[in-house]
């Protein structure tokens, strides 16, 4: 398969074309949204039968029980190769270390004498974590969802992951769940899994929130059930932007171009380069590496369909384009990489300099790899402990505190014409000693 990644010069891009290039969306097209909504609705009405029918049509199901027996989870954990078990636990430990810093269980602020406002953490009661699977295994996605949920204090954590063509859940994903203490796993994926988690079925107890990555049908299904239960964010196929200068190493840059592209043919990659010659060097390095990679066809399809190299007259132009594109992953291969980070606030996860491989973030640094895509990095961040609960406001006033606030309350209530608000204060102050 021939690599034909498109290369353009930024100076030749019109304002209208630039707008089209940077105006992206993680939300699937209307046909997928309609199809996913129909599947979700069928699951709501018909439960397990609808899950099995959707799995028969689209894959991801099993002829056995939808819920994986607890014994099978324990057996899968025990059967993991020692080196893999060590790696899973090491990655989980790093994720735990990073995420434990994110939560403040309780803060109290006295705004005036006699007026305190408390912020107290309350974990979600139940969470369903969608872990992609089927023909591939993503134990890392299980880690990224399970560990923050545990730190948050979620009482019930379950995993939904598609069965493969043989009708069984990938043993590595199953074993990872077991190693991390999760004994509720469902063999289902796609829109039907999201519907089952949101509404519940004969075999699946409904959850309060659904998190985790997935393809367009999973994303569309999440949007369809939002309101019935919470979701983390509508995230689409994996993507990366790479910003370079003349000092960057073409081979390392080429490796980063291929890293996220191998997830699937829908993955998108944007590369900014200082010259056409550098672009050619990167393309040559990609072509040299592809024969050694088992997923070469997937990478080639992704780059041909959704890859773009942009020649920029200045590093500032490349950084601006990356920021406007708002990528899920951003790699900065520049001499001034540490400073250049400040120019791109719109990015889900940033990798600074030659040694900062995106693969390290996907697997081992402890940072989350569940990230906003399709331009949503403008307004969303990575999955975090905060996604597994919320903070309650607890307000306590004494009489003197209420007296101090009364003029402010009366003035604003009067301006809004809400006299009962004012009366609720007066009744206390005039009717109580």
Do residues 26 and 234 lie in contact, with contact meaning Cβ atoms separated by under 8 Å? yes
- Known catalytic residue: 130? no
- Known catalytic residue: 75? no
DSSP string, 89-151: HHHHHHHHHHHGGG---EEEEEEETTEEEEEEEEE-SEEEEE---SSS--HHHHHHHHHHHHH
Q: Max Cα separation, the chain?
A: 86
Rounded-to-integer distance, Cα 158 and Cα 186, Å: 8
CA dihedral sign of residues 94, 95, 101, 107: negative
Contacts of residue 304, defined as CB under 8 A and 6 or more positions apart, other chains included, come to 3, 4, 5
Do residues 273 and 309 lie in contact, with contact meaning Cβ atoms separated by under 8 Å? yes
Which of 130, 329, 333, 369 is flagged as catalytic? 329
Do residues 219 and 27 lie in contact, with contact meaning Cβ atoms separated by under 8 Å? yes
Closest CA to 240 of 358, 132, 125: 358
CA dihedral sign of residues 224, 226, 227, 229: positive
Rounded-to-integer distance, Cα 178 and Cα 143, Å: 11
Which of 44, 184, 281, 328 is flagged as catalytic? 328
Closest CA to 371 of 217, 209, 239, 230: 239
How many other β-carbons are positioned within 10 Å of the β-carbon of residue 63? 11
Residues recognised as catalytic: 328-329
């Amino acid at each position: 398969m021939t690599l034909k990644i498109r290369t353009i010069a930024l100076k030749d891009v019109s304002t209208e074309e630039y707008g089209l290039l940077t105006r992206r969306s993680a939300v699937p097209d209307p046909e997928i949204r309609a199809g996913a909504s129909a599947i979700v609705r069928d699951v709501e009405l018909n439960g397990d039968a609808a899950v099995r029918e959707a799995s028969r049509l689209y894959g991801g199901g099993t002829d056995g029980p939808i819920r994986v027996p607890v014994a099978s989870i324990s057996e899968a954990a025990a059967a993991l190769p020692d080196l893999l078990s060590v790696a899973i636990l090491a990655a989980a430990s790093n994720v735990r270390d990073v995420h434990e810093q994110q939560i403040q269980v309780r803060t109290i602020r006295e705004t005036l004498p006699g007026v305190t406002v408390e912020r107290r953490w309350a974990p979600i009661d139940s969470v369903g974590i969608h872990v992609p699977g089927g023909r591939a295994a993503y134990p890392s996605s299980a880690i990224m969802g399970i560990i923050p949920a545990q730190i948050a204090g979620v009482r019930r954590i379950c995993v939904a992951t598609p069965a493969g063509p043989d009708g069984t859940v990938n043993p590595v994903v199953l074993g990872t769940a077991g190693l991390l203490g999760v004994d509720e796993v469902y063999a289902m994926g796609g829109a039907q899994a999201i519907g089952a988690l949101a509404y519940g079925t004969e075999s699946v107890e409904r959850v309060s929130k659904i998190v985790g990555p997935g393809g367009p049908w999973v994303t569309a299904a999440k949007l369809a059930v939002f309101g019935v239960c919470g979701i983390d964010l509508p995230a689409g196929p994996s993507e990366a932007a790479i910003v370079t200068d003349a000092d960057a190493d073409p081979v390392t840059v080429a490796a980063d171009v291929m890293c996220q592209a191998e997830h699937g043919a829908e993955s998108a990659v944007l590369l900014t380069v200082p010259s056409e010659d550098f672009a050619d060097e990167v393309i040559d390095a990609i072509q040299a590496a592809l024969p050694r990679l088992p997923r070469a066809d997937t990478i080639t399809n992704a780059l041909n369909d959704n890859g773009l190299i942009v020649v920029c007259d200045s590093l500032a132009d490349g950084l601006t384009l990356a920021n406007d594109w708002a990528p899920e992953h951003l790699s900065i291969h520049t001499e001034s990489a540490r400073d250049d980070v400040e120019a791109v606030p719109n990015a889900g996860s940033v990798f600074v300099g030659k040694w900062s491989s995106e693969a390290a973030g996907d697997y081992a640094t402890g940072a989350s790899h569940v990230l906003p895509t399709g331009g949503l990095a403008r307004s969303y961040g990575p999955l975090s402990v905060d996604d597994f609960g919320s903070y309650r406001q607890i307000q306590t006033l004494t009489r003197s505190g209420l007296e101090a606030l009364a003029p402010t309350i009366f003035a604003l209530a009067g301006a809004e014409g809400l006299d009962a608000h004012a009366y609720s204060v007066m009744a206390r102050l005039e009717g109580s000693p």
